[in-house]
């Protein structure tokens, strides 16, 4: 799981450099899988639909590769920055809980 999280962060950072369209499709897939797994883990722990579960579900829907959200590149860059902050914040929060990183 930790490798997937770091892969998502690295891919989001690299998205600021012009890349082929296929890269952005792969980015959507990786980030949506990452956010889905994190949201599911949080739901399993709390057994409730908290704001954290809703946040990760929104990230999953935004990056969903099947039903794409079409936005301008500049808007996606802002969304990518916010997503990087969300994922990094999740890493920071769970840093004292090593069982979450598996």
CA torsion sign for 53, 58, 61, 64 is negative
In the predicted model, what is the mean pLDDT of the chain?
92
At CB < 8 A and 24+ separation, what contacts does 21-25 make?
25/65
Q: What residues have CB less than 8 Å from 54, skipping those under 6 apart?
A: none
Q: How would residue 19 be classed by pLDDT, with cut points 50, 70 and 90? A: very high
Residue 7, pLDDT > 90, answer yes
Residue 53 near residue 43, CB atoms below 8 Å? yes
Q: How would residue 100 be classed by pLDDT, with cut points 50, 70 and 90? A: low
The pLDDT assigned to 1 comes to 84
Phi, psi of 66 (to 5 degrees): -85, -45
Digit-coded pLDDT (tens) for 28-45: 999 999 999 999 999 999
């Amino acid at each position: 799981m930790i490798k997937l999280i770091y892969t998502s962060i690295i891919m989001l950072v690299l998205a600021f450099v012009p890349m082929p369209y296929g890269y952005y499709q792969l980015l959507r897939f990786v980030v949506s899988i990452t956010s889905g797994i994190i949201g599911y883990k949080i739901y399993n722990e709390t057994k409730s639909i908290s704001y954290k579960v809703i946040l990760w579900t929104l990230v999953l829907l935004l990056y969903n590769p099947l039903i794409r959200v079409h936005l301008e590149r500049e808007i996606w860059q802002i969304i990518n920055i916010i997503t990087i902050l969300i994922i990094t914040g999740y890493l920071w929060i769970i840093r004292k809980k090593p069982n979450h990183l598996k």
